[in-house]
A and B are shown apart, each in its own frame.
Chain A
Amino acid sequence: MSEPVVERQRSAAALLGRLARARELGLVVALFLLFGVTAIVNPRFIGVQSFKDILLNTAIVGLLAVGQTLVVVTRNIDLSVGSVLGLSAFVTGLLFADHDVPIVVAFVVGTLIGAVCGVINGVLVAVCRIPALVVTLGTMYVFRGADYWLAEGRQVNAADMPSAFLKIGSGSVLGIPILPLIALVLLALAAWGMRNLRSGRELYAIGSNPDAARLAGIPVGRRLFVAFVLTGTLSGVAGVLWAARYGTVDATAATGFELNVVAAVVVGGVAIFGGSGTVVGAALGALLLSTIGSALVVLKVEALWERAIDGALLLLAITLDRVLALRAERALRASASRGATTLPANGAAAPPATGAAAVPADGATTTPPDGATTTPPDGATTTPPDGATTTPAARTAADARASEDAAADVAKGGTR
C-alpha cells in the first residue's frame, strides 16, 4: 500500500527540486541572453576586461547577498547590512589613515565590527524576540549614525591607504581578480554549509515553519542568532573590501545598498518568506543585476534606467515564482487527489498544508517518515515518528508538517 505513496512523494520532491534548479538555470540562461544581445550591439562586451569589471562589480553585492540569504531563508531579513558595510569600510580607512596598521589588522578589525553588529541584531531578534524587520530597520539607522559620528564629515582617500591594500581591490592573481576570488571562496563555503551541515538544513526548516521547527527540537533561537552574526560578519568583510576597491570612503558609503542586496537575493530565487532558495542563486541574482548595469552602459541606455529595471526585474522574478509555485501546487494537488481515490486513508489525513509543502501531510501517519524515503534530512531525524502514538492529533499534524517540510527542504525546497 505504501508503494505508490512513496513514489508519489518521490516525484513530488523531484518536482520541487526541479523547480529550484530551474531557477538557477533560468538565471544562467538570462545571463547568457543578456551577454548575447549586448555583444551583438557591441562585441567588446564579451572580453576579458569586461568580464573582470563585471566580476569586480558583483563581488561586494554578491557577498552581501550570500549573507542575506542565510537570514532570509529563516523567514527573517537584515536591512542593516548597508550600514554595517559603511561602518566597517570607514573604520578600515580610519585605521590606515590615523594609525598605519598592517593590512591584516584592518581585516580583522573590519570583520569584528561586522560580527559585533551581527551580535547586536542577533540578540535583539533571537533573545528579545523582536521582529527582524523592526530590529534591522532600527540598527540600520543606529549603525549609520555611529558611522557619521565617527567620521565627523571626514573622508579617507586612497592616498591614505597602503598600495598593497588597494591592490586587493583592483589587482588579480593569475589573471583572476582578487576581489571576486575572495567572494567566491566565501560563497563556496556558505553553499557547502547550507547544503550539508545539519545547522544549514535547520535554517531552511526554521524558515518553512518556525513552530514545527521548534517542536522538532531545533534550537531556533540559537540558529537565528548565528545566522545574524554570520550576516554581520560577511558585511564586515565586505566593508573592508569596499575600502580596498574604492579607496575613497566617507560615512555615506553604501547608503541604500541593502535594497540592492535584497533585490539580488529575491531575483536569485530566495523566497522572501523563508524556507527556500540557495546562496548560489542569490549570488547569480547579484551577478545578473550588476551585469545589467554594465550592459546598460554598453548599450548606451542612460544609467538612469538601471534602478527602474532592477525594480521591474525583481517584480517579474517574484511574479514568475508565484505563477510557477501555483502551477506546481495544482499539479501536486491533482496527483494527491488521484492518490486519495485509491488510498482512502490519505485523503482524510490532512489537506496540503503550507506553501511549498504541498506534499500531502500524510507521511507520518501512513508511511515511514517521508524524509527517509528520499534522503536523510536532519530535521526529520529529530522528529520522533512516534508522535502519532503518544500525542493528540494536533501534535501529529505539526510533526507531520515538520518532517514533510524538512523533506521538501532536502529536495532543495521549491518555490513557495
Chain B
Amino acid sequence: MSTTVLPPPKETSEPVGFAEHSPLRRLLSWEGAITALLIFAVLVATFGVEGFADSFNLANAQLDIVEIAILSLTLTLLVVIGEIDLSIASNLGMCSALMGVLWNAGMSIETIIPLTILVGAVAGALNGFLVTVVGLPSLAVTIGTLALYRGMAYVLLGDKAVADFPAAYTTWPAKTLGSLPIPYPTVLVIVLAIVVGIVLHATPIGRSLYAIGSNKEAARFAGIRVKRITFWLFVASGAFAGLAAVIYTFRFSSARADNANGLELTVVAAVLLGGVSIFGGRGTLPGVLVAVLLVGVLRNALILDDVSTETLMLVTGGLLIFSVLAPNAVTWARERWRLRKLSS
C-alpha cells in the first residue's frame, strides 16, 4: 500500500481538480445538460412535429403539466432533506373526491377551495407526524398513506363522478393571459416556483435543508430544528397536493376518486431527472423545473406525433435511469482517467 503512494501535492495544487469538485461547476454541468436536452427536444418538436408550435397547443401542453409542476416544488424540498412523499397523488385524488362531495352537499365553491387545501395540509401533517414524532421512514409511511388516501377517495365518492361544477370555475384554467399562450395556472405555478425557489436558494432555511439532507445528525447538532422543518415540509407537500387537486378538478371539470392515479411516480421521475439526489443534500429547483418542462414537451410532442402514450412510459423510465446513470458514468470515467494519469 505504501509503495503506490499517490502524489498528493500535485493533486491539490491542480486548479482543474479543485474546480471539478466545486458545487458551482457540478450544478452548471447538470443543469446545462438537461437544459440542452430541453432545447433540443423543443427544436425537434417545433420542426418535426406538426402543430407543436401552435399557440393553442402550447397552452395545452402547459396545462398538462401544471399538477406535476406544483407537486414537484414541495417534493424537491422533501427529497433535498432526504425524505420522500409518495402519497401526493393519492392526496390529490382524496381532495378531488372531497370537492365533489362538498359540492354535492351544496357548499359554495369559495368555501370548498380553502377547505380542500386545508384537508390536503392535514393529510400531509399525518405523514409528517408519523415521520417526525413516531420516527418511521418516510418511504414506508407514504406508501401506506398512498393506499390510505386513495382508499379514502373511493370511500368518499365511490366510482361516481361529480361533473357539474360552475362553468365560471371550470373554464378558468384554460383562460390565457391576453393573447399570449400562457394559461392562468401557469402564472400560479411561476409565482409558487419563485417563492419556493427563494426559500430554497436564498434563505437560511433553504441552506439548512441541504444541511439536513447531507447529514441529519450533524444538522441537528448544528442547531437546526430538523424535526420541525421536516414536519412542516410534509404539511406544505399536502397543501400543495390540495391546491393541485383544485386545479385538476376544475381543469377536467370532474371530481373522481381515481383522479391523478399514479401521478406520484411521474413527479418523482421529474424531480430526480432534475438532478436532485435521492440521498438528499443535492439538487436545485431550476433543474427540477427544466426537467418538468422536458417531461411536458416529450408528453405533448409524442402524443401529437401519434406515438402511443405507452411509448411515453418507455421514454420517461429510460430518461429517469439515464439521468442517474450518465453522471455516474462520467464520474467513473473521470476517475479512471485520473488514476491512469497518476500511475503513468
Contacts and interface: CB of A to CB of B under 8 A. Distances in A.
B278 A318 contact: no
A273 B84 CA distance: 14
Contacts, number: 149
A338 interface: no
Contacts of A314: 140, 143-144, 147-148
B155 A305 contact: yes
A272 B140 contact: yes
Interface in A352-392: none
Interface in A303-349: 304-312, 314-315, 318-319, 322, 326
Contact of A141 (B151, B278, B314): B314
A263 B147 contact: yes
Question: Which of under 10, 10 to 19, 20 to 34, or 35 or more describes the interface residues of A?
Answer: 35 or more
- Specify which of B158, B268, B325 lies most central, judged by the most chain A CB atoms within 10 Å of its CB: B325
A32 B131 CA distance: 31
B130 interface: yes
Contacts of B134: 319, 322
A145 B313 contact: yes
Q: Secondary structure of the A side of the interface? A: helix
B148 A137 contact: no
B320 A138 contact: yes
Given A131-B278, A142-B318, A311 B265 contact: no
Contacts of B155: 302, 304-305, 308
B59 to A, nearest CB: 27
A318 B141 contact: yes
Contact of B320 (A129, A141, A148, A309): A141
B154 A308 contact: yes
Given A149-B311, A310-B147, A141 B265 contact: yes
Interface string A279-306: 0000000000000000000000010111
Contact of B137 (A140, A272, A305, A307): A272
Nearest to A150: B310
A310 B140 contact: no
Contacts of A128: 325, 328-329
B150 interface: yes
A262 B325 CA distance: 25
A245 interface: no
B147 A148 contact: no
Contacts of A146: 314
Given A124-B321, A141-B265, A307 B150 contact: yes
B135 interface: yes
Interface string A96-134: 000000000000000000000000000010001111011
B130 A319 contact: yes
A140 B144 contact: no
B140 A266 contact: yes
A255 B310 CA distance: 13
Given A128-B325, A137-B265, A304-B158, A142 B313 contact: yes
B249 interface: no
Contacts of A137: 265, 268-269, 272, 317, 320
Interface in B49-69: none
A73 interface: no
B269 A141 contact: yes
Contacts of B148: 307-308, 310-312, 314-315
A306 B315 CA distance: 33
A64 to B, nearest CB: 15
A359 B82 CA distance: 28
- Specify which of B135, B144, B154 lies most central, judged by the most chain A CB atoms within 10 Å of its CB: B144
B145 interface: yes
Interface in B278-333: 278-279, 308, 310-318, 320-321, 324-325, 328-329
- Nearest 3 pairs between A and B by C-beta? A308-B151, A141-B317, A311-B148
12 contacts: A77-B139, A128-B325, A138-B317, A138-B321, A140-B317, A142-B314, A148-B311, A272-B139, A311-B148, A315-B141, A315-B144, A318-B136
Interface of B: 84, 130, 134-137, 139-141, 143-152, 154-155, 158-159, 261-262, 265, 268-269, 272, 278-279, 308, 310-318, 320-321, 324-325, 328-329
Given A263-B147, A311-B148, A319-B130, 20 more contacts: A124-B325, A134-B321, A137-B269, A138-B269, A138-B320, A141-B265, A141-B269, A142-B314, A142-B317, A142-B318, A144-B313, A148-B313, A149-B310, A262-B143, A266-B143, A305-B151, A305-B154, A307-B154, A308-B148, A310-B151
